[in-house]
């Protein structure tokens, strides 16, 4: 191209960006330059080759233009297939003869893409601006992507189970989950079993750093700037089956408290030398939000010197939720808490606040009794001294869940070990069993295949088989006799295989199917 530089012209050529039209234009501009002007050159750069022109500009310009045209015509095919090669590792992935590449052309020009290894190549794929190449059928494993414009496309990596787990933990912590609680529970247990030494499997989700790169890579940028609120009472592990509870608490050596786990917003009140000095939501560093609006509902003073932190849960009672729906259009009780904090003068009287934790310099034997003596409302609780008493209280709390009138998402057991229990009334809607055989039903137009499973006791029935649809689904899900299968209840009478959870459970117990079957049988025996 010709660039005006003071009283000089500079000619810069670039074979990758040049064209016949471009070279002709360069020649015309040089030929028609104002009399008395000169052309000067600069050192060769990455962007192109600077040609230093002599004093006889017309002749040189004409010769250069002719040479450029000839070279462009002769070398044009080479430029088209002069690929930029990128050696990749674990970005595109192969499954059953299909290469999932997710190549995206973000340029405003056509881009060609080819996958190669040492011995084979795919056809050349041309992507127009904005086009995506999601997958191709292929009979070899490529090692390199060749493209005409490496800076104008990108490809997304496969979201592995551990990546999905990291993103799901973060999404859960900011109150924007990407999967159901049941699916997350299955994923959480699977990852901790498969990757016990991974830092994410060893710490609480409340300590996770924000996975910025992953969120951008996999299409969740909105979670980066999300306000981080804790919607859990404590960052404590969950026990989701009777066998897990029994393993943890069968040998109980000291009294444990059992209390409802309130499902709302976590609030922290700070006291100094007995006076209330600050109220905020629990968050990460600067993400915590001021919650002074609820201060009128809290004791202004407490008989405890020094620094004291009282942890509470702010929720909307069942009896008050209709009021929020009618006046603010709220769609969930947890969401109504946000509305209440934003409109305290009108809404504060409709909010329930339960204190469940305290941190201070003094030894605390019964935190609930202490908090009640300070003037706080606490969740319903009881004390147990052995495993049988714990089971009795779990049943009693479960039976009282609906009558309690406060949203709960489990029970908290605190003592030698502290855990959230999600059994009985809080049992996850995804059930696990193993395949025992198959049944076929012959209809006028199709054959329906039923997958027989080890009987699983549900709240109102016993599930003995699952619709497998066809033989292909059985093969794809690896539903062999003795192998794990997970299912959910769509209604009181309809069950269906949960494919994602089935794959996760199979991965978790790969090579340990005997252990898995024994666990399922013991868990079902305890129900009776």
Q: Where exactly are the structural domains of the chain? A: 2-80, 84-155, 161-226, 239-391, 429-527
Whether residue 286 is predicted with pLDDT greater than 60 in this model: the reply is no
Quick one: how far is CA 431 from the chain centroid? 22
Measured distance CA(447)–CA(120) in Å, rounded: 42
pLDDT confidence band for 513 (50 / 70 / 90): very high
Choosing among 2.40.160.40, 2.40.50.140, 3.40.50.300, 3.90.1210.10, the CATH entry for 429-527 is 2.40.50.140
pLDDT confidence band for 446 (50 / 70 / 90): low
Please tell me the total number of residues recorded for the chain in this structure: 528
pLDDT per residue as tens digits for the range 301-340? 999 988 788 999 999 999 999 999 999 888 888 888 888 8
Cβ-Cβ contacts under 8 Å for 269 (sequence gap 6 or more) = 276, 278, 279, 295, 298, 309, 310, 312
- Higher model confidence: residue 34 or residue 402? 402
pLDDT per residue as tens digits for the range 254-265? 999 999 999 888
- Higher model confidence: residue 50 or residue 183? 183
Whether residue 5 is predicted with pLDDT greater than 70 in this model: the reply is no
Is the CB of residue 83 less than 8 Å from the CB of residue 114?
Answer: yes
pLDDT confidence band for 152 (50 / 70 / 90): low
Whether residue 410 is predicted with pLDDT greater than 50 in this model: the reply is yes
DSSP class of residue 43 equals -
Amino acid 235: pLDDT: 60
Helix residue ranges per DSSP H, 285-385? 318-328, 333-342, 344-347, 367-373
Percent of the chain with pLDDT over 70: 73
pLDDT confidence band for 176 (50 / 70 / 90): confident
Provide the mean pLDDT of the chain.
77
Per-residue pLDDT, averaged over 176-205, amounts to 85
Whether residue 82 is predicted with pLDDT greater than 80 in this model: the reply is no
Amino acid 202: pLDDT: 85
CATH class of the domain whose range is 239-391: alpha beta
Query: Whole-structure pTM over 0.85, yes or no?
Result: no
Per-residue pLDDT, averaged over 340-366, amounts to 90
Amino acid 58: pLDDT: 58
Q: In the block, which residue shows the tokens 């991965």?
A: 507
Q: What pairing do the DSSP bridges indicate for beta strands 49-51 and 8-13?
A: antiparallel
């Amino acid at each position: 191209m010709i660039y005006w530089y003071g009283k000089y012209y500079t000619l810069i050529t670039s074979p990758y960006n040049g064209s016949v039209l471009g070279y002709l234009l360069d020649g015309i501009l040089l030929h028609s330059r104002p009399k008395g002007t000169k052309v000067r050159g600069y050192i060769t750069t990455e962007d192109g080759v600077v040609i230093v022109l002599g004093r006889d500009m017309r002749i040189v310009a004409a010769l250069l233009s002719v040479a450029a045209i000839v070279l462009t015509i002769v070398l044009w095919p080479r430029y088209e297939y002069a690929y930029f090669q990128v050696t990749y590792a674990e970005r595109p992935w192969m499954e059953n003869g299909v290469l999932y590449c997710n190549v995206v052309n973000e340029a405003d020009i056509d881009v060609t893409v080819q996958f190669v290894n040492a011995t084979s190549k795919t056809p050349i794929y041309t992507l127009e601006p904005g086009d995506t190449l999601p997958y191709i059928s292929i009979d070899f494993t490529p090692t390199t992507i060749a493209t005409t414009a490496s800076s104008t496309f990108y490809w997304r990596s496969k979201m592995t189970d551990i990546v999905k787990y990291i993103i799901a933990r973060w999404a859960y912590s900011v109150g924007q989950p990407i999967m159901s609680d049941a699916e997350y529970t299955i994923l959480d247990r699977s990852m901790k079993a498969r990757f016990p030494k991974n830092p994410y499997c060893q710490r609480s989700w409340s300590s996770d750093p924000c996975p910025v790169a992953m969120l951008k890579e996999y299409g969740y940028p909105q979670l980066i700037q999300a306000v981080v609120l804790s919607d859990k009472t404590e960052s404590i592990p969950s026990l989701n089956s009777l066998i897990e509870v029994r393993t943890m608490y069968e040998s109980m050596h000291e009294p444990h408290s059992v209390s409802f786990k309130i499902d709302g917003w976590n609030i922290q009140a700070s006291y100094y030398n007995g006076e209330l000095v600050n109220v905020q939501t629990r968050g990460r560093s600067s993400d915590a939000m001021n919650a002074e609006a609820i201060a009128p509902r809290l004791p202004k003073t407490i008989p405890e010197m020094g620094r004291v932190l009282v942890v509470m849960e702010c929720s909307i009672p069942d009896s008050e939720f209709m009021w929020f729906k009618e006046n603010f259009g709220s769609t969930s009780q947890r969401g109504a808490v946000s509305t209440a904090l934003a409109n305290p003068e009108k809404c504060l009287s409709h909010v329930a606040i339960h204190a469940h934790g305290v941190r201070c310099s003094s030894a605390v034997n019964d935190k609930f009794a202490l908090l009640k003596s300070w003037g706080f409302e606490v969740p319903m609780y009881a004390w147990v001294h052995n495993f049988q008493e714990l089971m009795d209280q779990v049943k009693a709390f479960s039976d009282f869940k609906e009558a309690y009138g406060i949203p709960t998402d489990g029970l908290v057991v605190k003592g030698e070990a502290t855990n959230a229990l999600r059994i009985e009334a809080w049992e996850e809607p995804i059930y696990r069993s193993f395949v025992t055989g198959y049944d076929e039903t012959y209809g006028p137009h199709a054959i329906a295949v039923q997958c027989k499973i080890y009987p699983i006791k549900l709240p109102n029935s016993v599930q003995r088989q699952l619709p497998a649809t066809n033989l292909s689904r059985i093969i794809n899900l690896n539903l062999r006799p003795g192998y794990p299968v997970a299912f959910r209840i769509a209604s009181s009478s309809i069950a269906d295989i949960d494919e994602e959870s089935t794959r996760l459970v199979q991965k978790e117990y790969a090579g340990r199917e005997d252990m898995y079957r024994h666990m399922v049988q013991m868990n079902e025996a305890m129900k009776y």
